[in-house]
Amino acid sequence: MSNNRISPKEYEYVKQVLDSSFRSSQGAGMTKKLEALFREKFGVKHAIAHSNGTVTMHAGLLAAGIKPGDEVIVPPLTMASTSFAVLNCYAVPVFADVDADTFVIDAESIRKKITPKTKAIIPVSLYGLSPDMDKIMAIAKEHNLVVLEDNAQCFLGYYHGKVVGSHGDMASYSFQSSKHMASGEGGMLTTNDDELADKIRKYNSLGYAGVSATQVKITKEDIQNPDYTRHVQHGFNFRISELCAAVALGQLERLEELVAVRVNAAKGYDAIASQYKSVKAQRTPEGYVNSYWTYAFTLADPAIDWHDFKKVYKSHGGDNFYAAWKLTYQEPAFKNRTFLDPKNAFENAIYKDYTYPMGLCPVAEKLQPRMVQLKTNYFGDGEAVKRQWQALEKTLKHFA
């Protein structure tokens, strides 16, 4: 067993792809192997690999029938890619607030944001922690809404005994370089719905007639036939490369080990932070298992300045850490955005004006400026994570 970020497995699988000279007929078939193992490990019927963890959601929303002008409920406290996937469908992101203790999207806020135009919900498992999926799925069933889980930050997290990603209609994962398993870029979209899977694959692969839920690519025999009709619908080239699939396969085979590194780091932070009232860590409710993409807390003492906290932490040997993203609707790409009726492009699209003013999600607005995200990805460097624990303890003592 190795605790290093990259192991000999990944090197060997990449070599196999290179040795194939990228010939389709003689390729190493890494995408097929990756999808098969993902299905097995996450207990799902279909797993479809993509080039990244944003287009996964784009393809999933399109497969679910999301159209221009439809509303999709999302949290504001997460990476903006979640909302960009909605915009890429010419749909409208509607922001529900987050829970003050768990930092994830709040089910009751979702309920309040539902309108006749609402068609889907994208709950995000933030920092490795699942939202309350039982409540969210009950709301979705009541209003006939599609649920697409954004689990970019949550691999092998659990919610009441079930792996995160097994609750919604679809679940999206990212293999971007900072994630639990990484291949530089890449992503996976899972579902147990055969019809959705077929549609996802076609959006993923240029609308080819010969691809399906279980068929990764069209055959050479098909494309060599002059009478073959290739494209049965509009689609995108969202396919993962064989090189990225090779690295992701090696990472997936070691996923438990990679997740354990992060959980170990987080448990050490938590043992220290729980002793101080000046900080308030993300609460993991009973029955949940957090996979700790990062260890997150808020500075509960208003006397502590965020920048001063970081300066003191680094002075005690701590590494750089991250702030929470600016709330999505506070970013220039969203702030005061107006959705107009694009009559020239979409005949049946009826939009009203949407704006995203301050006060839209008051809990998230209060949390975001005070949040600290400590790194947990100390692969193969036990001494480094011990230094972070010591830096946190000294910093909290400084501000006590």
Q: Got the DSSP string for 246-261?
A: HHHHHHHHTHHHHHHH
What are the tokens at 322? 């991250």
Q: Do 283 and 221 reside in the same domain of the chain?
A: no
Query: What residue numbers bound the domain in which 99 lies?
Result: 8-254
Q: Do 85 and 41 reside in the same domain of the chain?
A: yes
Those residues whose C-beta lies under 8 Å from the C-beta of residue 108, and which sit 6 or more positions away, are none
Q: Do 87 and 202 reside in the same domain of the chain?
A: yes
Look up the CATH number of the domain holding residue 56.
3.40.640.10
User: Quick check: is 29 in a domain?
Assistant: yes
Q: Do 31 and 180 reside in the same domain of the chain?
A: yes
- Of the three residues 226, 254, 282, the one that is the final residue of a domain is 254
Q: Do 271 and 370 reside in the same domain of the chain?
A: yes
The whole-angstrom separation of Cα 15 and Cα 20 is 9
What DSSP designation does 343 have? T
Question: Among 179, 202, 217, 375, which one carries the catalytic annotation?
Answer: 179
Query: For 206-229, what is the mean pLDDT?
Result: 78
Q: Do 52 and 97 reside in the same domain of the chain?
A: yes
pLDDT in tens, 6-58: 999 999 999 999 998 887 655 569 999 999 999 999 999 999 999 999 999 99
- Of the three residues 254, 277, 297, the one that is the final residue of a domain is 254
Q: Do 267 and 249 reside in the same domain of the chain?
A: no
Domain count, the chain: 2
Instruction: With cut-offs at 50, 70 and 90, classify the pLDDT of residue 334.
Output: confident
Given a contact cutoff of 8 angstroms between Cβ atoms, the answer to whether 377 and 178 are in contact is: yes
Q: Do 261 and 202 reside in the same domain of the chain?
A: no
Q: What is the pLDDT of residue 24?
A: 63
CA distances from 132 to 92, 124, 137, 139, 362 (A): 23, 10, 9, 11, 20
Mean pLDDT of the chain: 92
Instruction: Give the whole-number percent of the chain exceeding pLDDT 90.
Output: 81
**pLDDT > 80? residue 317:** yes
Instruction: Give the whole-number percent of the chain exceeding pLDDT 70.
Output: 93
Q: Do 250 and 297 reside in the same domain of the chain?
A: no
Q: Do 216 and 271 reside in the same domain of the chain?
A: no
**pLDDT > 70? residue 346:** no
- Of the three residues 254, 274, 304, the one that is the final residue of a domain is 254
**pLDDT > 70? residue 230:** yes
Q: Do 156 and 241 reside in the same domain of the chain?
A: yes
User: Quick check: is 156 in a domain?
Assistant: yes
Look up the CATH number of the domain holding residue 267.
3.90.1150.10
Q: What is the pLDDT of residue 352?
A: 57
User: Quick check: is 250 in a domain?
Assistant: yes
User: Quick check: is 354 in a domain?
Assistant: no
The model's pTM is 0.93
Helix (H, G, I), strand (E, B) or coil at 292: coil
Hey, what's the torsion of the CAs at 254, 57, 102, 42, to 10 degrees? -30
pLDDT in tens, 360-391: 999 999 999 999 999 999 998 899 999 999 99
Q: Do 288 and 230 reside in the same domain of the chain?
A: no
Given a contact cutoff of 8 angstroms between Cβ atoms, the answer to whether 392 and 272 are in contact is: yes
User: Quick check: is 174 in a domain?
Assistant: yes
Strand order across the beta sheet in which 162-163 lies: 162-163, 158-159, 288-289
pLDDT in tens, 130-166: 999 999 999 999 999 999 999 999 999 999 999 999 9
The whole-angstrom separation of Cα 4 and Cα 69 is 46
The whole-angstrom separation of Cα 348 and Cα 67 is 9
Measure the CA angle with vertex 204, ends 198 and 206; round to 5°: 100
Q: Which residue has the tokens 């990244």?
A: 52
User: Quick check: is 58 in a domain?
Assistant: yes
179 is catalytic: yes
